[in-house]
């Protein structure tokens, strides 16, 4: 697993830094077809934070595996409880997130939102080629 952490992001730095990180992840791990989905979900989280917590600070953790990308958004103060309750005001944000991500979950104290996307990364392709090369050399 590959992990990337962005710490102490605020309203002014959140969007630019998370979008740049998503661009690098998609470029480095051959996820060009998934960039739109990942960036739209990130935009929905940003919009929610900006609306609910005008002066928010958050950490964002990206975890990349061969078949999934998880993005964990952790608030320094405040929580995602109102988003999880699916009230009329947050109905659109939660609906869009659920439509984009394969899995949405919250930490027990609701300070972290976890979004998981099922993808096929270059990590998986490299491992397949390595396994195939090993098998070919064994059977020669």
Q: The CATH number of the domain where 58 resides is what? A: 3.30.565.10
99, two tokens: 């439509």
Q: What is the pLDDT of residues 88-131, one digit of tens each?
A: 555 678 888 999 999 999 999 999 999 999 998 776 444 444 44
- pTM tops 0.85, yes or no: no
Going through 1-140 in order, the beta strands assigned E by DSSP cover 2-10, 57-64, 68-75, 103-106, 112-118
Residue in the block written with tokens 């002066």: 55
Q: What is the DSSP letter of 118?
A: E
**What confidence score (pLDDT) does residue 94 get?**
83
The closest alpha carbon to 2, from 131, 121, 129, 128, belongs to 121
Total domain count for the chain? Answer: 1
Longest dimension (CA), the chain: 64
Q: Per-residue pLDDT averaged across 78-85, rounded?
A: 87
The rounded distance, in Å, linking the Cα atoms of 58 and 40 is 18
**What confidence score (pLDDT) does residue 140 get?**
47
In terms of residue numbers, what domain contains 62? Answer: 2-138
Helices 14-28 and 35-52 sit at what angle, rounded to 10 degrees?
160
């Amino acid at each position: 697993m590959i992990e990337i952490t962005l710490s102490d992001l605020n309203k002014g730095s959140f969007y630019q830094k998370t979008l740049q990180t998503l661009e690098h992840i998609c470029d480095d791990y051959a996820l060009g077809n998934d960039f739109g989905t990942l960036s739209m979900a990130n935009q929905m989280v940003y919009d929610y934070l900006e609306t609910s917590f005008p002066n928010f600070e958050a950490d964002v953790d990206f975890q990349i595996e061969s078949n999934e990308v998880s993005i964990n958004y952790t608030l320094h103060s405040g929580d995602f409880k109102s988003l999880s309750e699916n009230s009329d005001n947050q109905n659109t944000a939660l609906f869009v997130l659920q439509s984009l991500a394969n899995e949405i979950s919250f930490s027990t104290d609701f300070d972290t939102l976890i979004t998981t996307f099922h993808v096929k990364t270059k990590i998986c392709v490299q491992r397949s080629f390595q396994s195939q090369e090993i098998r070919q050399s064994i059977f020669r």
